[in-house]
Amino acid sequence: MSETFAGVAVVGSANLDLVVEVSRPPRVGETLLGRAGGRFPGGKGLNQAVAAARTGASTRFCGVVGSDEAGAVLEAALTEAGVDAVLRRSASAPTGVAHVLAFDDGDNSILVAPGANGDLTPEDAVAGIAGAAVVLAQLEVPFAAVAAALVAARGAGARTILNAAPAHEAAVALLPEVDVLVVNETECTELGGVERLLSAGAGAVVLTEGAAGVTLHRPGRPGAHVAAFRVDAVDTTGAGDAFCGALAAGLAQGQDIEHALVRACAAGAIVARHRGATTPTLSVAALEALVAGR
Q: Where are the alpha helices (DSSP H) in the chain?
A: 44-54, 69-80, 122-128, 143-155, 185-190, 194-199, 239-252, 257-272, 284-292
Judge whether 234 and 273 are in contact, CB under 8 Å.
yes
Rg (CA), the chain: 18
Residue 241: active-site member: yes
**Active-site residue (options: 17, 119, 241, 256):** 241
Distance set, CA 101 to CA 21, 73, 209, 239 (Å): 6, 21, 21, 15
DSSP assignment, residue 204? -
Q: Are 187 and 162 in contact (CB under 8 A)?
A: no
Residues annotated as catalytic (active site), given as ranges: 241
